[in-house]
Amino acid sequence: MLTAARRPPARKLPSLRSLRSLRPTRLGGPLLLIAWLLIGVWFSFAVPAFETPDEVYHYAFSRHLAQGNPLPVQSSESTGPWQQEGSQAPLYYMLTGWLTAGVDQGDFEAIAVFNPRSNMGDPLFPGNKNRMLYSAAPRPLVGANLALHMGRWFSLLLGGLTIWFTYRTAQLAFAPRSRLPLMAALLVAAIPQFVFISASFSNDNMVVVAAAAVLYWLARLLVRERQAPIRAWEWAGLGALLGIAALSKLQGLGLFALAGGAGLLLAWERRDWRLLFTAALGTALPALLIAGWWYWRNFTLYGDWTGVSHLVAINGLRAKPLDWDDFWLEFRGLRYSFWGLFGWFNILLPTWFYALADGLAIFAAAGAALGTYVSRRRLRPAWLQQDATRVRLLLLAWIGISALLLVYWMNRATGSQGRLIFPALSALAIWAVVGLDFWYRRLPPTYRGAAWAVFPALLLGMTLYSVTLVIPAAYAAPAPVAAIPPQAQPANIVYGDAERIELHAVETPVARLRPGEAAEITLYLSAPAKLERDYELFIQLLDESGAVLGNVTSHPGWGRNPTTLWEPGAVYPDRYLVPIIGRVDPSSPLLARVYTGFINPDSPPPDHFPVTARDPSGAEITPMPAVVEIAPHAAPDAQELGLSPAGILFGDAFQASALHAPAEISRGEAITLTVLWEATGRPAADYTAFVHLLDATDSYVAGYDRAPAGDRFPTSRWQPGDRILSRFALTTPPDLTPGEYSVWLGLYDADSQGQTRLPVSGAGGLDSMHDMVRVESVLVR
């Protein structure tokens, strides 16, 4: 006859009468919840409307139900304002729709105006963090904004319950040491991203709390004494929680596998296989009553029980299988957005924080593994009979199931985010405390308190830093300035006729830049009267031929300050980083022109014609109010170019260090003189090079005048050490008499029209006059 193995006495499962005691009984628990809720409310006000991931779509789904409409019927080609969220399990939306049904939400479209240049998913790009165009505008707590915040506060209550269930589960996972359960709850509460998501209008909060509740319920069953019966209401309660999880989000289906495994374990330990039937029936019935109807609806409408095919078709189906390179790239984003990555996946915390948080997590994981190994060796065979062990293994199983679900999702769809791990957050936090406790028990008692404070202090510090500085700075419009700084270059350009925008001045970098860097450009803008339309501006860096080397197109304030929000007469500093991405000719540095203007909102895309620009006299102009110096990655090299050393000095700022010209040409053929200039000083003016072809009597035959760098880079911008490559193509007359000719080179002040030439020295064996030098003798055949 089979008999159950003995195991140490376990704590009794609280009775129904004692359920009222299932709250944090120590002062730390209530204080933690109160403080966390206050910080969460702070987040709910600090984050502008619809500036959390997919919040506008979550809200649109809820609003649709609040207006008395049925669940939307999804299609991969056509969706409503809820987009892919209309394919999600609907419990969260039904509850928030019921909560907000009495609120007039007719102003939703006026608030939910998308920023057409919003930067989603690229936290390294410095601008357009706002998904909504008017996120900088203050909004009263009425209408759609009130309904949104009601949903956010409901989410906060769910987040508070998640912390509470984490605490209660941790009490079952540890020996009666009150600080460890509170530490697990504190770790959950302090994660910046958890507060951010909990303060958002998102169905993630529903499945997170449902998962935490199921874990607690299963943990209670696992620590039950084997002689104590499991009542029908307890199985029904588990089924209700599973139904809530399944109707919250598809991740909740993974909890059914966990519950099934726990049921098998309980039946095996009790040697009562009838328990399986009782458990299956007791949990399945309420779960089906709560969630089954929605899965049946999916099957009848789409032939897909889960509806996930439409969800991934709208959200973004992965085009190719996930390989290791893609996985590690997404895994970095997954880690970052687990700790704290705000907005629409585009507002970073300091990078050292992620490295430190990852390091502490690895430290905790190593401690958990070692601690489990040591505990198993010390207690076996009684290790598996310990209440704490059984609860921890339950949590570990859920972590494993969650990881498998995450990998499955990553293989099917794009856009993995850390919040997808949050259903396992309570389990992860408890295991982190297991690991930290393993290490810290080895410290002298004097240092243990300080050691325990490190991880939660880091997380809490980043949470407060986020809500006080990082998030507000990402959405706040630039404040007007009382005066334009003196270093700014006056522009005095007026855009438009009926509605006018004035560009008063421009600041550009003083230092020379290189391709791959970004030019910091600040515009000082104002409007004399209230603007009725939103104008996008553009800033382009152009080379001498008009080719675009860098471009930024955005609503002012880098998306945060649309023109309809401007106060008349206020001067706004508008700062941009314009990346230099075009090719820069290596022959010389470039004086790029800053071309800036506004797009006519009446012009159809993709043309986007600019608004007319005028100077102070009213004349229409092409607005190029400033310049930026750009150097090539590498200066030209005489040896690589096959040039002969020369060392000819012109004045005290120029040297023709190397050159080349053909020794023989055919009549009518052009003579190409290649000169490598080197700046030996700072030229005081703009100079023009002249190339003359003289005959045997030193009479002028042909000539060519051009600045050494052409229109690319005037000599007044040269700095000592600059090298500029010039090619002068001297056209010879077609009837030129064959014979010997000489090519002469010189420089003159461009403003003097050739009258003021620079003296020549250092010509060596070359013939020279005072103001020019013979660089080659050419035989014309």
CA atoms within 13 A on the CB side of 266: 29
Of 110-119, 303-312, 761-770, which has the strongest mean pLDDT? 110-119
pLDDT band at 15 (very low <50, low <70, confident <90, very high): very low
Query: What is the reported pLDDT for 781?
Result: 84
Amino acid at 525: L
The burial of 294, by beta-carbon neighbours within 10 Å (0-12 exposed, 13-18 middle, 19 or more buried), is given as: middle
Q: Contacts from 483-492 at CB under 8 Å and sequence distance 24+?
A: 484/524, 484/571, 488/522, 488/524, 489/625, 489/626, 491/524, 491/623, 491/625, 491/626, 492/615, 492/616
* Contact yes or no for 531/563 (Cβ under 8 A): yes
Rounded to 5 degrees, what are φ and ψ at 495?
-110, 135
Which residues are CB-contacts of 270 (< 8 A; sequence separation ≥ 6)? 4, 226
Q: Among 196-200, 249-253, 664-668, 741-745, which is the least confidently predicted range? A: 664-668
Q: pLDDT tens digits, residue range 614-659?
A: 999 999 999 999 999 999 989 999 999 999 999 999 999 999 999 9
Map tokens 């709390």 to a residue.
209
CA atoms within 13 A on the CB side of 531: 26
Instruction: State the Cα–Cα distance between residues 778 and 744, nearest whole angstrom.
Output: 11
Q: Report residue 477 CA to chain centroid gap.
A: 19
**Mean pLDDT in residue range 218-226:** 91
Rounded to 5 degrees, what are φ and ψ at 405?
-60, -40
Q: Among 569-578, 661-670, 765-774, which is the least confidently predicted range? A: 765-774
* Contact yes or no for 597/610 (Cβ under 8 A): yes
Q: pLDDT tens digits, residue range 95-105?
A: 999 999 999 99
> Interhelix angle for 351-379 vs 425-440, to 10°?
70
Looking at the predicted structure, is the pLDDT value of residue 551 above 70?
Answer: yes
Query: What is the reported pLDDT for 315?
Result: 67
Cis peptide, bond prior to residue 30, ω within 30 of zero: no
Which residues are CB-contacts of 354 (< 8 A; sequence separation ≥ 6)? 335, 336, 339
Q: pLDDT tens digits, residue range 230-255?
A: 999 999 999 999 999 999 999 999 99
3-state secondary structure of 701: strand
**Mean pLDDT in residue range 346-371:** 96
Q: pLDDT tens digits, residue range 257-311?
A: 999 999 999 998 888 888 989 999 999 999 999 999 999 999 999 888 888 777 7
Q: pLDDT tens digits, residue range 675-708?
A: 999 999 999 899 999 999 999 988 999 999 999 9
3-state secondary structure of 199: coil
* Contact yes or no for 638/576 (Cβ under 8 A): no
Instruction: State the Cα–Cα distance between residues 149 and 42, nearest whole angstrom.
Output: 11
Compute the residue count for the chain: 781
CA atoms within 13 A on the CB side of 671: 34
Q: Is the dihedral of CA 353, 354, 359, 361 positive or negative?
A: positive
Looking at the predicted structure, is the pLDDT value of residue 722 above 80?
Answer: yes
Q: What angle do CA 723, 728, 734 make, to 5 degrees?
A: 170
Q: Tokens at residue 213, please?
A: 């509740």
**Mean pLDDT in residue range 4-20:** 42
Count the Cβ atoms, other than its own, within 10 Å of residue 601: 13
pLDDT band at 415 (very low <50, low <70, confident <90, very high): low
**Mean pLDDT in residue range 341-363:** 96
Q: Parallel, antiparallel, or unpaired for β 671-679 and 654-660?
A: antiparallel
